[in-house]
Amino acid sequence: MEKEIKILRKRRGEKNSYWQSFMYSSDSENDTVATALKRLNNSERLIDIGGRETSKIQWQCSCLQKKCGACAMRINKVPRLACDTVLKDIKEKVVVLEPLKKFPVIEDLIVDRSIMFENLKRLKIWLNEEAANDGTEDAYEASRCLQCGCCLEVCPNFISDGKFAGMSAGTLTARLLSECSDAQKKEISDIYKKNIYAGCGKSLSCYGICPAGIDIEHLLVKSNAIAVWKHRR
Amino acid sequence: MKTITIIGAGLAGLSAAITAAQQGIHCILVSAQSSERAQSVLAEGGINAALNTKGEKDSPREHFEDTMKGGCCLADKNAVKGLTENAPDIVNWLRNLGVPFALDGSELDLRNFGGQKKKRTVFAKSSTGKMVMTAMIDEARKFEAENLIERLCHHEFKELIIENGECIGCLVVDTYTNQMQSLYGEVILATGGLNGLFGEATTGTTQNTGNAAAAVFRQGVEMGNLEMIQYHPTTMQISGKRMLISEAARGEGGRLYVLKNGEIWYFMEQLYSTWGNLAPRDVISREMAQVTLRDECGEQVYLDMRELSENIWKNKLSDLRDEIIHYKGIDPMKEPVPVEPGIHYFMGGILVNKNHQTNIDGLYAAGECTCQYHGANRLGGNSMLGAIYGGKIAALSAIEHKESTNPVGKTEEQEKETAADGVTDKYMQSALKQGLGIVRDEKSITEAIDEIETLKSKYPQNDKLILASAMLTSAKERKESRGAHYRSDFTEIKEEYQKTTVAKYVDGRIDISFRKID
């Protein structure tokens, strides 16, 4: 298998980005974008398609089995995980890699997603009292969120310095709503209503984008029922 | 005011940070990436606690005995006692944080796990680590908002600051800016396993580089039982790594077989009638290596889960099934899954006492980076427990540490160019895999040591090569077979080796000794 991999690169501290292409060839049919990036970087000299030696491609990865969300990037314009994208499944001739656009680029494919974690702190996403433990299935589904940022990338309502924290905060709020004691329900419902419900345009553009396959629609429906419409859990 | 620096934000680091914050102590939680990216999220099958919800008369005493026996009596009894006695409280604490553990009625459900006769493993399908991490990250956030936990994300540990034999802080680098910073105060290392020394041959993450352990080893921190490396029996090759199939698969009824003269042979059930498919991991991996060498047997071992009920697949292992289908195109409900043993856990590491203190005053360690609790072989379900309990004890010990007259807080340091690892890693990993397989002997270990020595002479600045050499030398000096360390040239267990292998870097050379266990 041979593929051209075209990467939008940016040197640390510099303003302008530039495109650089690499040829990647492998005997394995199962190689993912993550494998390709690892192998390219592990070669003794990294040579681009024009025969020029270049610096290593900067990107983030960790688990390589779609359980940590580190390697989220735009692959042929779709935000997804590099470790979950098999090269041979990409129909286009060229594999185009870009950093996520909703976050500041640090270098090459590395973006600073700290706003996601700042938002969680701002929204007070935690339990102040012991969990009531009656929302096991929903809590399980919500707890699977990788905080990778793919859902924010496609969200028409999320901007990184805006008030709406996006579905990556919505999942964790859903966890709290399904687990919290009655005493904490109002407080968490208010957080949900103000920061998730009010900001979400219900476009559901995030549906089907989640690399973990979280049933986002279900979590929204359940959270609305608890926090907005005050149905029973 | 006291500030504790914690390196690593996985289970052990989070546990230490939350414990310190609960006591009102400020801590700095340093990690290369956010907690969501830590290896702890990969933990699958569950967490052990003798909760006795199944009417089997289980007790912490039996949990203690199984853990000691599973570890072939190489762990510190007092430490394991603390671990197993505190396990029920830890699980209840996690439940209160909202971890969606499986329930049986209103009680926590328990599953069978290897090396334990009674149901003792609390679980959330096969994603227990991820569930526990999500809840603990939320809990830590509460203290972040109070500034008791201060996160330094995208920072990496460089080295300890040691003065007059005491650790007074550490040096970290911001990977976004290359800016170095000194953090003063007690240090807790919670940097995870030494996966980076073995590259793609492990089930771990690329973030567990082993760099921190290598740096502190060079600085004189003692390591214990480095030769004890767990090969998990059921792993699969996927692109760029080994992927684990949780022991829960066998805990819920999965069976291992090999073709013998063309017929299915459930070898574990026949050869180990007491344990069957739930023997300790070292036993199964070794047996897999041996049966596949027999003339009458095929070379491939299969995990047969076809007899598991639909209910189990739906409620207890749906995630595991999805994963096997996704990565291998095999539906384990219908087809057996080819499996091989793969490197999964490091029982050895930074040597700590039962209070999680290292040999350097002011330095503590917890989680998989340490040598503690698991002896020569870890039982499934004890890793998360060890990380959470260990992190807690390390933090309590660091809090108790005498007030230092040394500087506190942070100082900015000169920017330093970091040395690249380069391609050395590839050669090092290959040598280690050769020398530290499931079955070892003097010849293969010595050859690997020679290769590492050659690399060392070329790249004297690479700390990992020193640690790699210490790992191999530990394996060479332990002239017996015990737990995960199996020597074909010394096949018996020997009482004289019921001791901790201690590796220390002194005056530019590796010193190996055997120390009596408490």
Instruction: Phi first, then psi: give them for residue B87, nearest 5 degrees.
Output: -60, -45
**Token pair 């600045």: residue:** B461
Instruction: Compute the count of residue pairs across chains A and B with CB atoms less than 8 Å apart.
Output: 130
- B18, B29, B37, B154, best to mutate vs chain A, most A CBs in 10 Å: B37
Q: By three-state DSSP, how is residue B31 classified?
A: coil
Q: Residue B402: its pLDDT value, please?
A: 87
Residues B155 and B137: their CA atoms lie apart, in Å, by 18
**Nearest CA to B388 among B148, B49, B45, B68?**
B49
Whether the pLDDT of residue A104 is over 80: the answer is: yes
- Strand B155-163 versus strand B149-152 pairing type: unpaired
Residue B408 has pLDDT above 80, yes or no: no
- Which chain A residue shows the shortest CA-CA distance from B37? A68
Q: Best residue in A62, A122, A144, A188 to probe B by mutation, most B CBs within 10 Å?
A: A62
- Is the model more confident about A10 or about B459? A10
pLDDT band with cut points at 50, 70 and 90 for residue B372: very high
Candidate from A120, A137, A143 with C-beta closest to B141 = A120
Residue B6: strand, helix, or coil: strand
Residue B263: pLDDT band by 50, 70, 90 thresholds?
very high
User: Which pair of tokens denotes residue B15?
Assistant: 């546990």
What's the mean pLDDT in B354-365?
98
| Average pLDDT, rounded, for chain B | 95
User: B511 to each of B74, B166, B185, B359, B502, how far by Cα in Å?
Assistant: 20, 21, 29, 15, 8
Q: 3-class DSSP state for residue B368?
A: helix
State how far the Cα of B162 lies from the Cα of B216, in Å rounded to an integer: 10
**B positions 203-222 inside 8 Å of A (CB):** 205-207
Query: Which residue in A70, A113, A179 is closest to B98 by CB distance?
Result: A179
The C-alpha of B77 sits at a distance from chain A's nearest C-alpha, in angstroms, of: 33
Residue A177: Cβ-neighbour burial (10 angstroms; 0-12, 13-18, 19+): buried
Judge whether residue A133 has pLDDT over 80. Answer: no
Q: Out of B281, B321, B440, B487, which one is annotated catalytic?
A: B281
The answer to whether B36 contacts chain A (CB < 8 Å) is yes
CA distance A204 to chain B (A): 24
Chain B closest-CA separation from residue A198 CA (Å) = 23
Q: Please give the radius of gyration of chain A, using alpha carbons only, rounded to the nearest integer.
A: 20
Q: Please confirm, yes or no, whether B95 is among the known catalytic residues.
A: no
pLDDT at position A161, please? 81
- How many other β-carbons are positioned within 10 Å of the β-carbon of residue B11? 32
How far B85 CA lies from chain A's nearest CA (Å)?
Answer: 22
- Phi, psi (deg, nearest 5) at residue B497: -100, 15
* Rounded Cα–Cα distance for residues A142 and B103 (Å): 18
At residue B71, does pLDDT exceed 80?
Answer: yes
Per residue, the 3-state secondary structure of chain A, as one string, reads CEEEEEEEEECCCCCCEEEEEEEEECCCCCCEHHHHHHHHHHCCCCECCCCCECCCCCCCCCCCCCCCCCCEEEECCEEEEHHHCEHHHCCCCEEEEECCCCCCEEECCEECCHHHHHHHHHCCCCCCCCCCCCCHHHHHHHHCCCCCCHHHHHCCCCCCCCCCCCHHHHHHHHHHHHHCCHHHHHHHHHHHHHHHHCCCCCCCCCCCCCCCCCCHHHHHHHHHHHHHCCCCC
Query: Could you report the per-residue pLDDT of B199-226, keeping only the tens digit for each?
Result: 999 999 999 999 999 999 999 999 999 9
Q: What is the pLDDT of residue B418?
A: 46
pLDDT at B425: 87
B421 contacts in A (CB within 8 Å)?
A: none
- Gap between the Cα atoms of B68 and B497, Å rounded: 16
Average pLDDT over residues B96-123: 95
Q: How far apart are CA B12 and CA B189, in angstroms?
A: 9
Distance from CA of A61 to the nearest CA of B (A): 7
Whether B328 and chain A come into contact, CB under 8 Å, resolves to: no
Cα torsion through B98, B99, B103, B108, rounded to 10: -90
Distance from C-alpha of A106 to C-alpha of A13, rounded to nearest angstrom = 8
d(CA A99, CA A109): 4
Residues A40-96 have pLDDT tens digits of 998 889 999 999 999 999 999 999 999 999 999 999 999 999 999 999 999 999 999
Look at A21-35, A129-143, B71-85 and tell me which has the smallest mean pLDDT.
A129-143
CA angle B387, B128, B82 (to 5 degrees): 30
Amino acid, single-letter form, for residue B425: D
Identity of the residue in A112, A139, A145 whose CB atom sits nearest the CB atom of B98 = A139
Residues from chain B that touch A139, judged by Cβ atoms under 8 A, are: 98, 100
Of A35, A62, A124, the CB nearest to B239: A35
What residues of B are in contact with residue A71 (Cβ under 8 Å)?
Answer: none
- Cβ atoms of residues B159 and B170 within 8 Å: yes
**Contact (CB<8Å) B153/A63:** no
Can you tell me the distance from the alpha carbon of B50 to that of A15, in angstroms, rounded to the nearest whole number? 58
Q: Please check whether residue A134 touches B, CB under 8 A.
A: no
CA angle (A162, A163, A164) in 5-degree steps? 95
For residue A116, the chain B residue with the least C-alpha distance is: B34
The answer to whether A36 faces chain B, any CB pair under 8 Å, is no
From chain B, the residues in CB contact with A146 under 8 A are 36
A207 min Cα distance to partner chain B (Å): 19
User: For residue A4, which of A26, A20, A23, A29 has the smallest C-alpha distance?
Assistant: A23
Instruction: Please indicate if any CB of chain B lies within 8 Å of the CB of A119.
Output: no
Judged by DSSP in three states, B293 sits in coil
| Closest CA–CA distance from residue A54 to any residue of chain B (Å) | 14
Residue among A26, A133, A215 with most chain B CBs within 10 A, to mutate: A133
- Chain B interface test: which of A26, A31, A110, A143 (most B C-beta within 10 Å): A143
Mean pLDDT of B461-466: 93
The average pLDDT across B158-167 equals: 96
User: Chain A within 8 Å of B98 (Cβ-Cβ)?
Assistant: yes
Tell me the pLDDT band of B422, cut-offs 50, 70 and 90.
Answer: low
ipTM of the complex: 0.97
pLDDT-based confidence at residue B417 (cuts at 50, 70, 90): very low
| CA dist list (Å): B315 to B108, B123, B176, B308 | 14, 11, 43, 12
CB contact under 8 A, B98 and A175: yes
What percent of chain B is modeled with pLDDT above 90? 93
Smallest Cα–Cα separation from A224: which of A175, A189, A187?
A189
State residue B415's pLDDT score.
Answer: 57
Name every chain B residue with its beta carbon within 8 A of the beta carbon of A58.
none
